[in-house]
Amino acid sequence: MAKTRVANIRHLKGKAFELIRQGKAVYIGRRVRTSYGTFPASKWGNPFRLSPYATSIEREKCLRKYETYVRSRLDLMGALKELKGKVLLCWCYPLPCHGNVLIKLLKETER
């Protein structure tokens, strides 16, 4: 099985929809309309918004809040296995991102 990883959707553009249709990728963001289509809101979306000018400290704080949020949601914790072997599509990678948090939590559940 392929390794679970995070990828920036901007680099994939329209190819992202094909990867999702093939079951190779999962969109993990909020609802976004682009020139190549609309991505519906994902249950994995981070409800804690960051400014485009957020500092690394603000980003880390946001990611800690997201981790606490996911851990508190039994439905999400139970669904983490859906992400195994998938490409997690977001908008912020390669910056530290909630996709990294999801991979961390997935690994914990596999132990």
Give the residues across from 26 on adjacent strands: 88
pTM for this prediction: 0.92
73 falls in which pLDDT band (50, 70, 90)?
very high
Q: How many domains does the chain have?
A: 1
Q: Measured between alpha carbons, how far is 20 from 88 in angstroms, rounded to an integer?
A: 10
In the prediction, which pLDDT does 29 show?
A: 94
Report, as an integer, the average pLDDT of 56-79: 97
Report the candidate in 50, 47, 68 with the shortest Cα–Cα distance to residue 59. Answer: 50
**Most confident region among 7-16, 65-74, 89-98 by mean pLDDT:** 65-74
By the 8 A CB rule, do 83 and 1 touch?
no
Report, as an integer, the average pLDDT of 16-31: 94
Report, as an integer, the average pLDDT of 36-63: 93
In the prediction, which pLDDT does 1 show?
A: 67
Q: How many C-beta neighbours within 10 Å does residue 15 have? A: 12
- Range of 64's domain? 5-110
Please return the burial class of 57, using the count of CB atoms within 10 Å of its CB with bins 0-12, 13-18 and 19+: exposed
Take residue 27 and report the two structure tokens written for it.
């969109």
